[in-house]
Structure 1
Amino acid sequence: MKKLIYILVTCFIAMSFVAHAQQTTDAMYRKTLKEVLDEVQDKYHVKIKYTAAQVDGKWVNYAQWRFRPNVDTTLANILTPLDLKVNKEAPGRYKLKEYEYFRWAISDGWKELDRIAAQYHDRDTWEQRKAILKPELYKALELSPLPAKPASKPIITSKRTFDGYTVENIAIEILPGLYINGSLYKPLKIKGKIPVILSPDGHWEHQRYRADCQIRCASLARMGAMAYSYDLFAWGESLLQFKDEDHRRSLAQTIQALGAIRILDYVLSLKETDSERVGISGGSGGGSHTVLMTALDDRIKLSAPVVSVSSYFYGGCPCESGMPIHQCGNGTDNVELAAMAAPRPQLLISDGQDWTANMPEHDFPYLQKMYGYYGVADKVENVHLPNEGHDFGPSKRAALYAFVAKNFRLDLNKIKDGSGNFDDKKVTIQKEPAMYVFGDKGENLPANAIKGFDQLEKVFAQSIKK
């Protein structure tokens, strides 16, 4: 009898739950996402590409109330609450994707930049805005105040000598047990004070070991400047201390900024560095880093972000936007941050196949206006390559060389052949292990090196503890 009563009670509870769920569904006019997308396709005569994994288990509340006469508005109403979106692949053809918080519609990005720009109208009001933004950026990065600098000396490998330049690998301890690694390219013959260009890596395969990265840094050295090429956090040799997925953590942005500050400390301590000719140029994620560092650190006198800056793309990697820097000053974006470089020379290189495709139309005129507040509108330049894509290829490097040569008084002829073309053949492309600081298998990693992200968080928290 007890068993029978238990079964009856269980059935009653189950039926009550189902009835309640059904009532809830009915009350909220819920439908599965698959059902709703199928209705959209039928109603608007469009095709939406999606996988079962993207729609399984997802429901749309008040489904019928989300339909509008326009299919794009309808899809936004349906998908936004679910953190989904569609990309339009062709007229009438869409593909379902995860919502990208960092990527806006072009018109929305432009409107936001216009809203931001309405807060100032001359040099004085812009300087007031900068005075708000800069300390808030440090605070957002949790670098206010800066952590104490370790007393250790940089670890420097033996110097390799090539045609017109030398290379040595360097590791700098930026927090106790945390190292940032890179390679310093120098002219073979140095007379007096010379410029230095920081060259942060971007999100490309083979990191700073890539041929195009070596060519760029070696060419700058052959022109007469030092070039410091360094790894992103949890990329390159940093993987001796961390896993590659650690790069996609918010703290990556802070660590990269702190690393660049410590690199600046180091290069400015060298007797051959001209402190009035310090530049930075990176591409893609390295371009976002370039913009941020120029906004943060007045020691940088020239910047050249490559295929990166846009008012409608905030950088999709946590190392670019993981910390709340874009919430500073009641909302900012990468174009306004780029304007913080004024009146220092700045070159923005854009192309036709990524989020920089519309740079000449709206974002660059804004930057010209900002530089105009200082009477130096000619100090900001845009080289737009509409037929090229997202890379740091020969034409982009050529634009960088010319810009650096003009502003830092260097000789372009040192890297040209008899026909006046840039000559890469004199650059030796080193194999990856030659650019390691800690040995082929990490055998020279210091004993105090942090191992793992959990330990980094503890060390960082202790370092910023007041």
Structure 2
Amino acid sequence: MIRGKLFALLLCLLLCGFDVYAQQTTDSNYKKPLKEVLDEIQEKYKVKIKYNPDMVKDKWVNYAEWRLRPDVDTTLSNVLTSLDLKVNKEGPGRYKLKEYEYFRWSVSDGWKELDRIASEYHDKESWEVRKAMLRPQLYKALELSPLPAKPASKPIITPKRIFDGYTVENIAIEILPGLYINGSLYKPLKIKGKIPVVLSPDGHWEHQRYRADCQIRCATLARMGAMAYSYDLFAWGESLLQFKEADHRRSLAQTIQALGAIRILDYVLSLKETDPLRVGISGGSGGGSHTELMTALDDRIKLSAPVVSVSSYFYGGCPCESGMPIHQCGGGTDNVEIAAMAAPRPQLLISDGQDWTAHMPEHDFPYLKKMYGYYGAADMVENVHLPAEGHDFGPSKRHPLYAFVAKNFHLNINTIKDKRGNIDESKVTIEKEPAMYVFGDKGEKLPSDAIKGFDQLQKVFAAATRE
């Protein structure tokens, strides 16, 4: 009996000692597991926080109790910011835990930042000074200053395929030794004299340039009288013969895509049928970010149409859009100011109500109208806003693009209309994916000296930019 009482007393002392030791003190930085802190927040503020258990595993909050505030939003910010985490508010009392998104700001913060940027100039002359400073800094941020030497090899071109009013041939251009950018060039079936060309990068939608809506857009532009060059993002599409899909999320992807577009411009401008005064670019989503960046970088582009992409509070959610420090240029810039660098060249921005372009007409577009107004060209920038639409490149986005290209490149849009005056895309043939490959059904035609893997690309790029 005595032994039992002694054991109980000892156990009590040990437990008490453990409690004392486990108290939150400065010695332990008032540290608590993140999961425990989130549980306490949910209980204290009567809210629900959704999260994946892996997101909180092995994460601790220093000075946890000291971060609590009377309101839950400030508390969550205090707790999560140091861990590079955040919450999205999904409704009253409902939150979802997410990794910190450096590329996504609140709408109000994005607008304030654009206002701060815009305060640095007030007329054409002061804007031209800033633009002259920004452009070389953009090239430097992309590590493309100076540009690496252009390979002397000729493009690899597949046999031409003939359809109703247009043709298609697949093309691979070597942009660095052993590195290829692949695409498909759509041309009008009958070409007379010089004609326009529209570069058509696309976003992160599945199957990218192989998708039906991408084929429809490029073929319809060709049937209207323009060439359209559809090309892969880096480590996407046929580029996966050389790289892994994960490589697309490396910061160098943004640089390689910019270099690829520069080399595509070199190529299309070497064609005898290209009118150098009518060169455009239009991409959607991530391809839209690429569109506004390329227009800022290269004056050879005379018209741009970024689709469901440009925003002052969203900088592009993929490293291929914001992986390199382009937004630190000029003491801080954003995609709307970069889009303004197109002025006074014609620009169409297509926005919708279900993504980060939802507020385009309220603040960002008026800024762009003002910038174009510096040149007396406010009517050269347009916005088609579709508040009931979502994030895609469907007919409601394509049809305004056709009209914009036709108007500014002096093409006859009636050639793609039916008897009732509606846009008719039904004459486009949707090809199966293998028909659009440059290097064969299984990549068997990929040149033997082609780069294989990201490590090799880094070495080749470093050597090319040192020369």
**Shorter-normalised TM-score: what interval?**
over 0.9
Aligned residue for 2:313, secondary structure, equals coil
Could you tell me which amino acid in structure 2 is paired with residue 280 of structure 1? Answer: I
TM-score, normalised via structure 1 length: 0.94
> Superposition pairs for residues 404-419 of structure 1, below 5 Å?
404-419=405-420
CA displacement at 1:95 relative to structure 2: 1.0
Matched residues in 2 for 1:232 and 1:101: separation? 22
Could you tell me which residue of structure 2 aligns to residue 163 of structure 1? 164
> Superposition pairs for residues 2-401 of structure 1, below 5 Å?
26-401=27-402
Could you tell me which amino acid in structure 2 is paired with residue 426 of structure 1? Answer: K
Matched residues in 2 for 1:219 and 1:20: separation? 73
Q: CA offsets per residue over residues 9-34 of structure 1, 9 Å max, x none?
A: xxxxxxxxx99997876452222212
Matched residues in 1 for 2:25 and 2:291: separation? 51
Could you tell me which residue of structure 1 aligns to residue 9 of structure 2? none
Could you tell me which amino acid in structure 2 is paired with residue 305 of structure 1? Answer: P
- Greater mean alpha carbon deviation, residues 179-188 or residues 31-40: 31-40
Could you tell me which residue of structure 2 aligns to residue 10 of structure 1? none
Aligned residue for 1:344, secondary structure, equals coil
- Structure 1 runs (4+) greater than 3 angstroms displaced: 18-27
Matched residues in 2 for 1:418 and 1:279: separation? 29
Matched residues in 2 for 1:53 and 1:275: separation? 53
CA displacement at 1:69 relative to structure 2: 2.3
Could you tell me which residue of structure 1 aligns to residue 10 of structure 2? none
Tell whether the 8 Å contact from 2:24 to 2:31 is kept in structure 1 after alignment.
Answer: no
Aligned residue for 2:230, secondary structure, equals strand
Could you tell me which amino acid in structure 2 is paired with residue 455 of structure 1? Answer: Q
Could you tell me which amino acid in structure 1 is paired with residue 200 of structure 2? Answer: S
Could you tell me which amino acid in structure 2 is paired with residue 179 of structure 1? Answer: Y
Matched residues in 1 for 2:271 and 2:22: separation? 71
Could you tell me which residue of structure 2 aligns to residue 5 of structure 1? none
Matched residues in 1 for 2:74 and 2:379: separation? 42
Matched residues in 2 for 1:40 and 1:368: separation? 45
Share of identical aligned residues, percent? 84
Matched residues in 1 for 2:170 and 2:406: separation? 25
Q: Which runs of 5+ in 2 are unaligned?
A: 1-18
Change (3 A) 1:26 1:403: same
- Greater mean alpha carbon deviation, residues 54-63 or residues 21-30: 21-30
Could you tell me which amino acid in structure 2 is paired with residue 191 of structure 1? Answer: K
CA displacement at 1:425 relative to structure 2: 1.1
TM-score, normalised via structure 2 length: 0.94
Could you tell me which residue of structure 1 aligns to residue 5 of structure 2? none
Count of residues paired in the alignment: 449
Aligned residue for 2:344, secondary structure, equals coil
Matched residues in 2 for 1:151 and 1:441: separation? 26
- Greater mean alpha carbon deviation, residues 428-437 or residues 57-66: 57-66
Matched residues in 2 for 1:34 and 1:231: separation? 42
Q: CA offsets per residue over residues 200-256 of structure 1, 9 Å max, x none?
A: 021000110000000000000000000000000011111111111111100000000
Aligned residue for 1:450, secondary structure, equals coil
Could you tell me which residue of structure 1 aligns to residue 466 of structure 2? 465
Q: Which runs of 5+ in 1 are unaligned?
A: 1-17
Could you tell me which amino acid in structure 1 is paired with residue 457 of structure 2? Answer: L
Matched residues in 2 for 1:24 and 1:150: separation? 64
